[in-house]
Amino acid sequence: MGRNIGYCRVSSLDQELSVQRVALERHGCHVIFEEKVTGTKREGREKLDLALKVLSGGDHLVVTRLDRLGRSLRDLANIAHEIENAGASLRVLDQAVDTATSAGKAFFGMLAVFAQFETDVRRERQTEGIARIMNDPKLRLSKYKGAKPRIDPARVQTLKREGLGPTEIATQLGISRMSVYRLLKENGHAPS
């Protein structure tokens, strides 16, 4: 009987792994690899690579949802192939997939296609939304202009010429001293 090796992932540093971790522990995963990195690409997912390396015959790589493993059809197929080559299987808890069975392999293939479809649809909607904003003058005025500059470089130079030091300039303008130093350096003034 093989081991249950858990893998959980969230896309950003401010997201929590605890819900996935609890589900994997409940499923009998004593070893769980965790990472906070995007799932759109395989590169840079060091914990996934480690999880795949420790798999051996009869083991199960366990994830809570398929999108935690990957979002691209190619990546999911490659990961499934690596799992199979290790003599292991994949279990996806929320979608009740177990690639140790023929039905599980078929269901995994369908879910992988839908994961890719969902990613593609999201990307298309984003592209369409940006195009709509860029083509509508009223929307374009309110979006994609970038942040208003908080620092007026000319004002920094004026205050410097008036004899103020970087700390006084920063305090007066409500900006950091580092910003003042950077602007003075960019404009050829040695900070004092």
How far from each other are the two terminal CA atoms of the chain, in whole angstroms? Answer: 71
Tell me whether residue 11 is one of the annotated catalytic residues. Answer: yes
Name beta bridge partners: 8.
34
* Cβ proximity of 97 and 124 under 8 Å: no
Tokens matching residue 81: 């192939």
CB-CB neighbours of 128 under 10 Å: 10
* Cβ proximity of 59 and 5 under 8 Å: yes
Residue 10 is inside which H or E element, if any?
Answer: strand 4-10
* Cβ proximity of 155 and 173 under 8 Å: yes
**Which residue among the candidates 11, 72, 89, 176 is catalytic per the annotation?**
11
Task: Select from 112, 104, 94 the least CA-distant residue to 24.
Answer: 94
Which sequence positions are flagged as catalytic?
Answer: 11
